[in-house]
Structure 1
Amino acid sequence: MTQITPGALPAELHKAAGTVTRLLAKLDDASVAGPSQLPGWTRGHVLAHITGIANAMARQLDYARRGEKIELYDGGMDGRNKAIELAAGHSVAQHTESVTKAVESAVASFDALEPDDWQAPITYRDGTVLDGGLALWSELTIHASDLGLGFGPETWSRPFCEHLIGFLAARVPGEYKLVLQPTGLPQMSIGSGSTSIAITGMLTDIAAWLAGREPSLGSLRATAAADGVELPELLPWPAAQPATR
């Protein structure tokens, strides 16, 4: 599977940020208040979350440069959730200003990194600055799709899908090994259990399913010992601060 390097990640962050910016231009006050692809969340909730996670990642980098660490969100997950609820009902103009400012600041923070900075420790998942950059890439890309504005998982790039599959391998229950067979691409395996299940379909659909989103290009087929089976239930997103809702 593709491994995104620190040298390549800033360009991917710019692409993801550009997508969010283009989608903001499609919104008005009525559509911001409409439902997103996430149950119980309006598009305003999604935009408030994008603002929050972008600001949080920029803060992680600010502290990492000083050799310090700080929690991802002010007030932890309670603080995160309260901030989303408070901002969800903002107007499209308010969301456009806050999202644009936060995303541009976060991307600029990653642009300014020196080669050695990428391995500096941060609080997010007890990881490194690189982990934070990969998380922001995922947040921007997945939540752009959650807005339900014509940028669904079918638009996700192969490098992004392969990164997401590797990260979400932790969702595979211990008893399973999933043999992923993306159409027209080499197969890959995640999980190390004794029960092998083959998952066949488009790469973007496989990635969407692992991310808890609906496949958009077709249906996935699961087989075990040549017999059709149901897609297995997946574990929650990897522990610590959730990468996405």
Structure 2
Amino acid sequence: MTDISNAQLVARLTTAADNVSAKLAGLTDADVLVASDLPGWTRGHVLAHIAHVSNAVARQGEYALRGEKIDFYDGGQGGRTQAIEMNAGHTAEEHRAYISSAFTRVLTLLQGLDDAQWDLPISYRNGVVRDGALAYWRELVIHLADLQLGRGPETWSKEFCFYLFEFLSARVPADLQLKLLPLALPPLTIGTGENTVSVQGMLTDIAAWLSGRTPSMGSLRAEAAADSVELPKLLSWPTAFAKQ
């Protein structure tokens, strides 16, 4: 379990939101239409998703405080897709205003929680409010990288990368064990399968690969039984709809 405190998590979220806002400040309408690092999505799609997930996390907390649960996305997966498509074509200023409002809503809620309220149940992966906040941290940091605005995986902190290793261990196939060898750092292992593959490279490159993004600092090397092999194929990303 990630060992940062709830107060530290709020600080990380505030910084991540500030980073997104700073990169959006000079964005033009033409910039919004540029392809993102996600297949089939423009920057406008990513921006719409950032706003949508911000409101979704806020809504999880708001209902939890009332002792209720609600779907993570209004309308489920279909509602998520529809909302993103409807808002992707907004102007840069519309995106800035929508995201700013969503950031205020979710951060105000999280900043006002007491210790007990962080453990209130929510529908997201049958977890608690803290789980939703951790998911939000992932969304803000990773999707800022997807926008290709100068905050790629090479900027991810060691703390964030090690947290991703913990969360994304669910992507390791059942028959596989990954021995991660980040340069100049202690090795660690994720997965419990009988077949071991070692993956060596920069910490941020390993985290980028595990998250389905393109490593940006150099090449990764994979070995099995002392022979070079291709990087193994990972399972799907754990979604908001898993374990429900």
In structure 1, what is the equivalent of residue 71 of structure 2?
Answer: 71
1:102-121 deviations in Å (ceiling 9; x for gaps): 02211121111101111110
Q: Is the 8 A contact 1:72 1:123 kept in 2?
A: yes
Task: State the shift of 1:26 in Å.
Answer: 2.9
- Contact 1:177/1:191 (<8 A) preserved: yes
Contact 1:4 1:163 in 2 (8 A): no
| 2: CA distance, partners of 1:17 / 1:7 | 15
Q: Which residue in the other structure is 1:106 paired with?
A: 106
SS in 2 for 1:57: helix
Q: Specify the SS of the correspondent of 2:213.
A: coil
Take 2:167 and 2:124, find their aligned partners in 1: how far apart are those partners? 14
Q: What secondary structure, in the 3-state scheme, does the structure 1 residue paired with 2:7 have?
A: coil
Instruction: Kindly provide the amino acid, as one letter, of the partner of residue 169 in structure 1.
Output: S
Give aligned pairs, total: 242
CA distance in 2, matches of 1:241, 1:186: 34
**Match in the other structure for 2:167:** 167
**Residues 239 and 74 (structure 1), Cα distance of their counterparts in 2 relative to 1, 3 Å cut:** closer
The two structures, once aligned, show a CA RMSD in angstroms of 1.2
Aligned position for 1:30: 30
Matches within 5 A, 1:1-245: 3-241=3-241
Q: When the two structures are superposed, what TM-score results if normalisation uses the length of structure 1?
A: 0.96
8 Å CA contact 2:72–2:240 kept in 1: the answer is no
The answer to whether the 8 A contact 2:35-2:43 is kept is: yes
Q: Distance in 1 between matches of 2:160 and 2:104?
A: 20
CA distance in 2, matches of 1:183, 1:104: 38
Q: Please report how far the alpha carbon of residue 96 of structure 1 lies from its aligned counterpart in structure 2 after TM superposition.
A: 0.3
Deviation at 1:74, TM superposition (A): 1.1
2:6 alignment partner AA: P
- The whole-number CA distance in structure 2 between the counterparts of 1:123 and 1:8 is 23
Deviations 1:6-26 (A, max 9, x none): 231001001100110011013
**Aligned mates of 1:45, 1:104 — CA distance in 2:** 20
Structure 2's unaligned 5+ residue stretches are none
Give the secondary structure class of the aligned counterpart of 1:208: helix
| Structure 1, unpaired ranges of 5+ | none
Distance in 2, Cα, partners of 1:226 & 1:26: 49
- Once residues 219 and 118 of structure 1 are traced to their aligned partners in structure 2, the CA distance between those partners, rounded to angstroms, is 39
Post-superposition Cα deviations, 1:175-234, rounded to whole Å, max 9, x if no partner, equal: 110000101111110000001111101111111101000000001110111111110000
- Report percent identity of matched pairs: 54
TM-score, normalization by structure 2:
0.97
